[in-house]
Amino acid sequence: MIKTFNFLFVTMLGLGKVKFIPGTFGSLASVIILYICFHILKLNSNFILLGLLLIFGYSFIAITNHTKDNENKDPGEIIIDEFIGQSIPIYLYEISHGTVKQPSEAIIFYGVCFILFRYFDIMKPYPVSYFDKKHKNSFGVIMDDVCAGFYVVFSLVCFMILKNYIL
């Protein structure tokens, strides 16, 4: 039973078994889930943070258990790491500035976060590449996406700073 639960957890209910670009589908599902949580269900950001931290913590255990008998420690079907990485810029956007975000504004921002996250996750600039290549375990699987998520945050902060100087 725990093996089935871990499989469903790391593959985001089997979405990771999609044959074509499972990571992209995982990121897109993450964007949709977070949009629903923040803008449709209007869940408290502290409650969402608690959920994200629980997912983050359990991911290490679930990925380790899922890959323990597998030589490949980062199979494409594991997409919970995409959820974690994609959640970072979206969560920080939602709690920033202490203002209520309009759904139309959020959709555009979520789209930008999605594109930037996929770019950094695929291109793997340092230190994303470091974690991907040097840590062949659950830590490496998760941390390369965490770094990609923070690259999105860094890029958007740089854009906002430049925008203020240019305009």
122: which 2 tokens? Answer: 């695929």
Domain boundaries, the chain: 2-166
153 pLDDT band, cuts 50/70/90, is very high
Residue spans of alpha helices (H) in 36-79: 45-67
**Percent of the chain at pLDDT exceeding 90:** 75
Sign of CA dihedral 77, 83, 88, 90: positive
Query: Is it the case that residue 71 has pLDDT exceeding 90?
Result: no
23: which 2 tokens? Answer: 């990571």
pLDDT per position as a tens digit, 12-45: 999 999 999 999 999 999 999 999 999 999 999 9
- What is the spatial distance between Cα 81 and Cα 59, in angstroms, rounded to a whole number? 8
73 pLDDT band, cuts 50/70/90, is low
pTM for this structure?
0.92
